[in-house]
Amino acid sequence: MGMCLPCLGGAADDVVVTPDPDSRRRQLAEAAEKRQKEKSHLQTRKSHAKVVSRQHTGVLKIQKQSREKRKNRKRLKNRR
């Protein structure tokens, strides 16, 4: 038994102290809020990247033109 005591002497330094429940709850809430912000930021970046890629290919311009044509057709039908 005398041989184990020197081994256990330094083990007290390795112990992780758990925070009290209130601070733990606050830490978890902050972490969840941070994850939400990152997730929403990534979603806006992805949607912005999609629009930019569409503009680069010219698809967005074509879609706008076809919408305008539809509107003009509806206007002409309503006039008759």
20 secondary structure, DSSP code: P
Position 57 scores a pLDDT of: 53
Which residue has 């569409």 as its token pair? 54
* Alpha helix stretches (DSSP H) within the chain: 4-9, 21-57, 59-79
**Is there a domain that residue 66 lies in?**
yes
Q: Is residue 9 part of a domain?
A: no
Q: Which structure tokens are listed for 48?
A: 């912005």
Q: Is residue 13 a part of any domain in this protein?
A: no
Q: Within a domain: residue 14?
A: no
17 located within any domain: no
pLDDT tens for the chain, 80 residues: list them.
Answer: 455 655 666 655 666 778 788 999 999 999 999 998 888 877 776 666 665 555 555 555 555 566 666 677 777 677 66
Q: Is residue 56 part of a domain?
A: yes
Q: Which of 66, 65, 48 is nearest to 56 (CA)?
A: 48
* Residue 28, domain member (yes or no): yes
Q: Could you give the CA distance from residue 69 to residue 77 in angstroms, rounded to a whole number?
A: 12
Count of domains for the chain: 1
By residue range, what is the domain housing residue 55? 22-79
- In a domain, residue 62? The reply is yes
The answer to whether 9 and 15 are in contact (CB under 8 A) is no
